[in-house]
Amino acid sequence: MDDALRTDQTTYNEAVVDLLGALAYAELIAFERLAEDAKLAPTLADKAALAEMAAAEFGHFQLLERRLNEMGADSEAAMRPFVGPFDAFHAQTHPSDWLEGLVKAYVGDGIAADFYREVAAYVDEETRKLVLEVLADTGHARFAVERVRGAIEDDPRIAGRLALWARRLVGEALSQAQRAAAERDALSSLLVGGVDRPGTDLAEIGRMFARLTEQHTKRMATLGLSA
Residue 65 C-alpha from the chain's centroid: 16
Give which of 34, 19, 212 is closest to 131, Cα–Cα. Answer: 19
The confidence band for 191, taking pLDDT boundaries of 50, 70 and 90, is: low
Mapped onto helix, strand or coil, the DSSP state of residue 127 is: helix
The Cα 76–Cα 194 span in angstroms is: 27
Topology at the third CATH level for domain 3-223: Ferritin (1.20.1260)
What pLDDT, on the 0 to 100 scale, is given for residue 173?
A: 79
pTM for the predicted model, two decimal places: 0.83
**83-109 mean pLDDT:** 88
What pLDDT, on the 0 to 100 scale, is given for residue 121?
A: 85
Share of the chain above pLDDT 90, in %: 40
All structural domains of the chain with their residue ranges: 3-223
Reported as half-sphere exposure (CB side, CA atoms, 13 A), residue 224 has a value of 17
| Alpha-helix runs per DSSP H in 135-223 | 140-154, 158-182, 185-189, 202-223
Please state at what angle helix 3-40 crosses helix 125-134, rounded to 10 degrees. Answer: 10
Mapped onto helix, strand or coil, the DSSP state of residue 47 is: helix
pLDDT tens for residues 97-142? 889 989 988 888 888 888 888 888 888 999 999 999 999 888 888 9
